[in-house]
Structure formats: C-alpha cells, structure tokens
Structure 1
Amino acid sequence: MIESYKKALKDYYEIQKEDDQIRSLLNPTPAGLREILILKMKEELDSSDKKIIEDFFDVPFAELTLNKLRSETDKFKALANFLKEKSGGSDLRRLEMVALILDFKQRPYRKFEKHYSKISEVEDIVDNQKTNFDSEEPNVESSNNEVEKPEIEEVVDKEIVTIEAEVNTPKVIGSSEEVSIQKRKNVPLKKIGIIGIVSVIIGFSLFLNFKTWTTKDCMVWKGDKYEAVDCTETINSFAETTLPKDDKLIKEFRKMKVDSKTSFFDKKGNPKIWYIKNPNGILEFYNQPGLQPETGKTLKPISRYIIQEYVLNEKK
C-alpha cells in the first residue's frame, strides 16, 4: 500500500507542476521545499498536518521556531531527491511531508488508504463482470438442439475424389500419342492465361496503392482519432498539423471517455488506459500509450490516484 501512496504522490506532482502556482517545484531543492513548508505553517493547519510536521522533525509543533526549521534544511534533501526520482524512499514520515508540501488532498496516509480500498473494490467488480462476460461462448445449434457441423469437409472430399478420377482416368481421344500432343498444347496456353490474369491483378493493385500514396499519405487528428488526408489538404482555411500516415495509429489509437465502469487494469495489474493534461488543463484519456496528438507530450499510464481524483470524484 505504501508503494501506491508513493505512486499517487508522484502522479500528483507531475500533474500539478505544470500549473503556475507550483512552477517553483520544477527543479525542487531542499531550501526551496523548506520555504514552502514555512509558508504553509503561517496558515491555519489542522491537527493531522501538525502531526505530520511533528513526526518529521521529531519536535512538538509548538516548539518549532523559524531558526529551528532553517537549521534542518538537510532533512529536505531526501524529499527533493524523491520528487526528482533520484530515490524511491518508503519512509512514511518523509512521504507525509511531501504530501503536505504538495498539498496532496488525500493526506495523511490513512485517509489515502481508505480511498485506495474503495478503488480496489470497484476494479474487482468491473473485472469480475468482464470475466463472466468473456467466459460465455455462444453455440450455434440446429432446430433439433444439436450443434451443427460444417459440411465443407464432405464437399471437399467429393471434389478431391472427382479430381483424382479425372487425373487417373483421362478421356481417350485417339491414340496415346494424340493425347500427349493435346496436353502439351494446352499446358502453355493455361500458364499464359494464368500469368496474364495475375499480372492484371498486380498491376491494378499497384495502381490503387500508388494513388493512395500520392493522395492520402498523411494523417491529422480529428476529434478522437487520426484520419488519413492528402498532405497538401487545407482544412478550415489553414493547414492542419499533419503527420506521416501510420495505419496502425489510424486504426487503433483513440481518445476515450472513462467512468467507474471502465476497466483500467488487466488481470496482472498492467494499465489499459493512459492519460495526459491537455492545453486547457483538462485530463484526457487514451486506449494506448503514445503521444498527445496536439502537444506531442508522452501519455502516462493510469494510476489509482488519477482514477480516484479525476474519475470517481469527477474532478475534471
């Protein structure tokens, strides 16, 4: 559970550091984190936040002075390394202080633990429903409630017998020499005919592909998916940002809406949804890893914290 708390803090930090009010944390330093805490201590703190501070400094809250705080700057070094991902410490006192400095809403840890349990319950329900649905395999039955079996094997067998009969019992035209001469005449003609048909098909396919390459060899993002376009196409009186055509992205990559019924993880706990904050500050969700189509920023795998704060709580 501690690992989930760490992951939630890092996810929260990655999202919030893009906002103006937290730009000082783009490159966190021990002194910078200390000053943020000093500013917070000038506000009215609740009992849980005071307890976090007391545990971190191992001093009663009422006895903490400005000089005392500034003499303990080294204590903030581990916090800065955590945010820079230079360390993955699991000391709960330090994690709680990070949560306080970042103003992480689901602090302290015991509060986060309750929310985490709720998310796990929702995921279990969704996964069980999906498993039950996948386990149902429809059977095709006849009117006599018997499973119909394809008759293609019987037909194929008959065709094979017929072909073998034709090959083994050729029709007698005249003498055996006349039959051999007739076969030699027919074989080249058949080969030429087959080669001609194949050539026409290949030529037509190449023509269609060439036409596609020269007309729709780029793609643009439209709404929730990529669409193939002519590289010189102008849309809405200005040239859209175009990318080289990628058939896999066009076919599979989608922006999607999520809710409490969405299956966010597979049975092994791997993410099935990725997210990013768009230029308007709103979280977007996608069905695959990759880049945000408008900004080019790398999508991030979904986490339990993001599900809780931006899906279950509908904090969009």
Structure 2
Amino acid sequence: MFAEYQKQVLDFYKRKWNSGDLSLNLMHPTSAKIKSECLLVFEKRSKRKDETMLRSFFSADPTADFRLIIKKFETDKFKPLNNYLKNSTGKTEEKNIELLAWLIDFEPRPFKPENFVDEQGNSEQSEKKDSADSELSWIEPEVAETETTSEDPSGLTSGTSGDEMGQPEPTSIGPTDVAPEEDKKVSGNTVGRKMVLAGILLVCIGGIAAFLLWPGRQAGEVSPPRAPLGSEEECMYWTGDRYQAIACSGKTDGTRLYALDKDKLMHLQKISRPDTISRRGVGHVWYAKIDGKIEFYTSAGFHPVYTDIRLKPLTLYMYNKYIYHYQ
C-alpha cells in the first residue's frame, strides 16, 4: 500500500511544481536547498503528528532541539531525496517519501495503510481481515468436529443422542427439586433489581429537590456549582500563566478543562517577564512562537492553548536574538 502513498505524494509534488506553488528551494532542489527547506518548514509549521517521522529521519531523541539537529545534519544525507526528485522513476527509502510529504504539506500524512488502496480497491486493512476470515473458515469445522466426537467412558460420543443410536432416551422418574430452586433464584433477582431501581429513583428526586431549593436561586443569584464534599480535584485549567487544579464540575464559563497532570501543574508556567531570563536559562527555558511573538515557559511539553505546538528548548541563538537586549 505504501506504493500508492508514494505515487500520490509525488503527483502532489508535480502539481505544485507545475503551478509554481513550491518554494524556490524545491522548485530547483539540491541537497543543500532541501536542508534549508527543512529549517524553514520546521520554524513555520511544526506539528505533533510529524514528530515520529522527524525523529526517525534525523535520528533525534524526543527532547532534542530539531532546529540544531537539522543545522548540524550532514547535507549529503539529503542526496537520495534530491536524486529521486530529479529522476522520479527510480526508488527511494520510505523515510525520504515521508520527508517530502512533510516539506510540501501533503495530506493525509504520515502514511497509514487504511488511508490508501491498491489498483483493485483493496486496502491493507481489508486484506488482513479477509485473510483472517479465510483462516477462521478452516478452523471452525475442526473445532466443531472436536466438540461432537469426544468420547465418554461408556463408549458413546458425547454429541450423539439415544435416538441416533437406535435406543430410546431414558426418561427421569419421580419428582425433581430443580424447578423450585430456579424459581427462588428468579424471585431473589427480581427483588434485588427493584431495590436498585428504587434507590436510583430516590437519588434523582433528591437531586431535583436540591436544585429547586438551592440558596439564592429564587432571588435570581447564580452561584458556581461546587464539587461534592470529599471529592478530589481531578481536572485542571490554564489561567493564562499557569495550570490551576479544580474539580471536573467546577467551571461553567466555557473554560477548557484538562485531566489533572501533576507534573504540568507543578512545573509548567509562562514566563511573563523575559528580562528575568539569564544566559543560564539556555537549555532550561522553553519557548514557542505564537502569532509572530515569542512566549517563554519553565518546562518542556506542548503549548497549553495551541496543543499541537511543541515547546522548544531555548538556544543561545534565540537567547541572543530575543532576550539579550533586556539585560
């Protein structure tokens, strides 16, 4: 299925090339230009879904500063992709196709088998299902045969009735206690269900009464709902410069709630005064570029509002460019 994905990525590249929608680096590519384009694209649109591909191509760890990694990356390692673009009839590694898809903003990416079909219209996922069904069709008769041919000590198969052997089935004689016992179980279950339903009904009635008798409601006051006594704060929200823990039912103004993350709660804060950042903050302070402005944070992770943007570690270059003049 990757062959179909590769074809669509290349066709997309050719269409953009013919329409002049590619950058100058990709209109007439060289290994050095592809490297430069990687830097530009990373600064312009760094998305979470591309991280696995970038780590794989550049052999980087999850906390690496990709900007530095790309700058130090050997230019010759872009040569296979450059050769492929100049001679598209050849073959290249899958990682080069994924990098090209990222550079030209092809969607959907990265490659997922279920998104692409072959010339017969079959996806890899459907092929696996058909294969599994085929195997199951061979297994089922064998299982059925095993169930019906197991022997008991009398020499008769357990799946064969007395009629099939030419003998009448034995008839039980005398009273049995099975039916009364089953009646008792059914009766007990019915009583239990009724008690559960009655309890639920009482809880609902109590909730409605509490709402109607809520202090201040009749006077037109609106009070924020409070978490039940004894409940734990299992959610948090972004206040603008830090996360604040709160009960999951504690916000009504449309504020976005997140599952409580104690690490973010304790360590991730926005640095509102860049002049407080010294050179020792290089590698220990994190930043993101939002609407053309640089925001600084105290911990790694993703931007608390634009959650698809990863925070990057502060480099000496960024420090000199955006912070040094404050000192």
Q: Which has the higher contact order (CA 8 A, sep 6+)?
A: 1
More helix by share: 1
Verify same fold: TM over 0.5.
no
Q: TM-score, normalised by structure 2?
A: 0.33
Q: TM-score, normalised by structure 1?
A: 0.34
